Amino acid sequence: MTYADFMNAPKRRDRAATRSALLDAARRRFAEHGYDGTGVREIAADAGVDATLIFRYFGSKRHLFDEAANGEVPEGLGAPGAGPAELADALVREVVLGDAPAGGGEHPLLLMLRSAGRPEVRARLHEEVCDRYLADMADRFAGEDAALRAELVGALLLGMGVMRDVVGSPVLPGADPDRVRALVAAMVAALEAGGRPADPTGP
Amino acid sequence: MTYADFMNAPKRRDRAATRSALLDAARRRFAEHGYDGTGVREIAADAGVDATLIFRYFGSKRHLFDEAANGEVPEGLGAPGAGPAELADALVREVVLGDAPAGGGEHPLLLMLRSAGRPEVRARLHEEVCDRYLADMADRFAGEDAALRAELVGALLLGMGVMRDVVGSPVLPGADPDRVRALVAAMVAALEAGGRPADPTGP
DNA sequence: GAGATAAGTCATCGATCGATGACTACGCTA
DNA sequence: TAGCGTAGTCATCGATCGATGACTTATCTC
């Protein structure tokens, strides 16, 4: 069977496959154009089915978005006992360099970032970032202002994702991944060193 | 005249003032809800006038957005001869700590980031970030991969703005500004040092 | 092969979107 | 104070949005 034959073949009726195709198309559309910039008809067209099926399978556009942003939040945080450098390195590979094992698309945090105009999306983003990533990162920093230093690491990683996927800067995709990881490690190490010895205004 | 009198007074007919009020309201709405999440009627209601005036004064919603994102891109880059640390420090105060002299609102880059679903907005964002900020930053770095190091500084700053304004993390607004600047300076210094000596995989 | 179940489509609704043109009323000047 | 220019408003258009219910058709079972 040729590729054309495969494409022109009458599509099988498969509820699970159609649902999955809608979910994939929604992830791509939402990630690229945001929630408000994406219509249910466009998602359905990408999936090759009628838009009505979105409401039959997901209930509403918002439920589809929630499920699209939900299912792929990776668990893969670094080893529990490791330091911030190891965690940052794992996140660099996962968020920026795209070594995420599951799903070939964008990181769900960046997907939500594109739709942060909606208050409920922003609330989820806030909860996900602060309670999940930043709290875990802060636990690995010593010192009184661990939260601030964790915030800076998180800002660096989030900013790298934004640079690559939203701004579209060609630098990060074209750079040597090991070099990127080394530079990020140097920045995190500077935070681990504390910055306080170099800060003449410290108490 | 009391405040209530001022508020209840019949509004004067002032083309320039109305245009400015529409522009201010548009900046706030677009910055918070993005382009697609903001309607012309909401902007006009915030400004206290009819939505028709938007089209009379700006031609279209998109032209209003363009002007809202245009007028306030600050020139204030650091001294031409200064190093990346000085430029980064100036940008921290401008973007993150909100010491921007003009306009009380958000940085226009973050305003555009909220509407990055639109291809033309993304194009402007790309141009503004890459050709303006990153190029200037890369010029102040020595070494072969100055572009990559400039990208990391830009990602850190952009991420800090996203953390504060989009994610809504309370850490940065509550932190001591001098401490924030010191930590960022330490991270930039680590990049200036090169990271290469600490990179065992370097050529 | 006939009937049943469910996957998929069609027609359409009400709301809201950006945008247009006709109209009203305020403020300046003679 | 009569009249003119324009700031501001009202009514409304066509397109598109998310969403609903009735309908068609493919697939499975007996």
Residue B51, CA: closest nucleotide via C1'? D9
| Contact at CB, A126 and B169, closer than 8 angstroms | yes
For chain A positions 11-40, those within 8 Å of chain B (CB to CB) are 32-34, 36-37
pTM for the whole structure:
0.87
Domain membership flag for residue A75: no
B143 or A117, which is more confident: A117
Are A134 and A96 members of one domain?
yes
The pLDDT of residue A194: 67
Residue B19 main-chain phi, psi, to 5 deg: -60, -45
CA A158/CA A145 separation, integer angstroms = 20
| CB-CB under 8 Å, B189 with A148 | no
Q: Do residues A58 and A27 both lie within one domain?
A: yes
Residues in A closer than 8 angstroms to B162, CB to CB, are: 113, 155, 158-159, 162
Residues B26, B65: contact at Cβ < 8 Å?
Answer: yes
CATH number at residue A40: 1.10.10.60
Q: B74 lies in a domain?
A: no
Are both B18 and B49 inside the same structural domain?
A: yes
Q: Is residue B171 part of a domain?
A: yes
- Kindly state whether residue A202 falls inside one of the protein's structural domains: no
Residue A33 is predicted with a pLDDT of: 96
Last residue of a domain, one of A68, A96, A125: A68
Ordered per-residue pLDDT tens for chain B, 203 residues: 444 444 444 567 889 999 999 999 999 999 999 999 999 999 999 999 999 999 999 999 999 999 999 865 555 566 677 788 898 998 898 877 766 544 456 788 889 999 999 999 999 999 999 998 999 999 999 888 999 999 999 999 999 999 999 999 999 999 999 999 999 999 999 999 865 544 444 34
Asked if A90 and A156 sit in the same domain, the reply is yes
Nearest CA distance, B105 vs chain A (angstrom): 16
In this complex, the nucleotide whose C1' atom is nearest to the CA atom of residue A40 is D18
Distance (Å) from the alpha carbon of A10 to chain B's nearest alpha carbon: 34
Residue B139 belongs to domain with CATH number: 1.10.357
* Within a domain: B50: yes
Q: Say if CB B110 and CB B104 are below 8 A apart.
A: no
Same domain? For A54 and A126 the reply is no
Q: A170: which 2 tokens?
A: 């060609």
Cβ contact A67:A23 at 8 Å: yes
Are B26 and B89 members of one domain? no
- CA gap B203, B186 in Å, rounded: 25
Residue B40 and residue B90 in one domain: no
Question: What is the predicted pLDDT for the residue at B142?
Answer: 83
Indicate whether B157 and B64 sit together in one domain.
no
Tell me: do B93 and B177 sit in the same domain: yes
Q: Is the pLDDT of residue A119 over 60?
A: yes
The pLDDT tens digits of the residues spanning A5-50 come to: 444 445 678 899 999 999 999 999 999 999 999 999 999 999 999 9
Question: For strand D, which nucleotides have at least one atom less than 7 Å from a protein CB?
Answer: 6-11, 16-22, 26-27
Q: Report the largest interatomic distance among the alpha carbons of chain A, rounded to a whole angstrom.
A: 74
> How many structural domains are present in chain A?
2
Angle at B163 between CA A110 and CA B95, to 5 degrees: 115
A169 strand D contact, CB < 7 Å: no
What domain range is B117 assigned to? 84-193
Say how far B14 CA is from C29 C1', in Å.
Answer: 18
The strand ranges marked E within chain A are none
Q: Does A175 share its domain with A120?
A: yes
Q: Is residue A77 part of a domain?
A: no
Is B201 part of any domain?
no
Residues B76, B94: Cα–Cα separation, whole Å: 8
A54 shares contact with chain B (CB less than 8 Å) = no
pLDDT digits (tens, 9 = 90+) for A130-157: 998 999 999 999 888 999 999 999 999 9
Verify that B105 and B189 share a domain, yes or no. Answer: yes
Q: Is residue A199 in some structural domain?
A: no
In angstroms, the CA B70 to CA B47 distance is 19
Using a 7 Å cut-off to protein CB atoms, list the covered nucleotides of chain C: 6-11, 16-22, 26-27
Same domain, B123 and B166: yes
Distance CA A199, CA A129 (A): 28
